[in-house]
Amino acid sequence: MDERIAELEALVQQQREYIEQLLARNAELEARVAQAQRDSHTSSKPPSSDGLARRTKSLRTKSGKKAGGQLGHRGDTLHLVATPDEIVEHRPAVCVHCQTLLADDASVVLRERRQVQELPVVRLHITEHQRLHMRCPRCQTVSAGAFPAAAPSRAQYGPHLRALAVYLVEEQLVPLGRGSSARRACSRQWSYSSKRRCSVPRCSITMRPACAERERWRGRM
């Protein structure tokens, strides 16, 4: 009986040692897996230590379609306009076969069209309004003309320019400082100042005639 008990105790001790070995091996493997999963995204390691292995694998399956636009796709591209603002003709100077000079009266058998849509050069257009004081030849009374409503002071911005400023600041959320830099890039004469910033809240009152033009301008963007 005592021999049987001793035999069982020895077996239990062997199993205990074997379990400890398995636990140590399992801890070592878990440490290796954790180390392999660490990269520049999950630790302080530099991106150069990530290696060439892909971190994730796409779950998308192949659809069998060719790359690019598919048949029936509407697409979006520029179209030729019927009435361009300017037409530039490019005539050949000589015949490509016999080198004969081609005069202006040479017949045109084909006209290919290509159009370039471009913004014009942006610069301020300054209009000076002069009110004339004129003397009546009959009674010698001096009468003065009337300035337009768009020129209430000596110098001001026009309604279209104010509409553009409000559109950039309110619609496109361009900061006033960046808007000032953009204006200086177009013209050295226009920039925001502490006094000019009041044009934005004042626009709803002083710029009603320009609202329609502003909406038209926005529609072209």
Reported as a single tens digit per residue, the pLDDT across 53-76 is 656 667 778 887 888 777 777 777
Query: Is residue 23 situated within a structural domain?
Result: no
Amino acid identity at 76: D
Could you read off the pLDDT of 99-134 as tens digits, one per residue? Answer: 999 998 899 999 999 999 998 887 788 999 999 999
Query: Is residue 132 situated within a structural domain?
Result: no
Verdict on whether the full-model pTM lies above 0.85: no
Strand-pair category, 142-144 with 133-135: antiparallel
Query: Is residue 102 situated within a structural domain?
Result: no
Q: Which domain holds residue 170?
A: 158-220
Number of domains comprising the chain: 1
Going through 64-144 in order, the beta strands assigned E by DSSP cover: 133-135, 142-144
Query: Is residue 87 situated within a structural domain?
Result: no
Query: Is residue 41 situated within a structural domain?
Result: no
Q: Are 45 and 39 in contact (CB under 8 A)?
A: yes
Query: Is residue 186 situated within a structural domain?
Result: yes
Query: Is residue 9 situated within a structural domain?
Result: no
- Listed in sequence order, the DSSP H helices in the chain are 2-37, 159-166, 176-186, 199-206, 211-220
Higher pLDDT, 87 or 170: 87
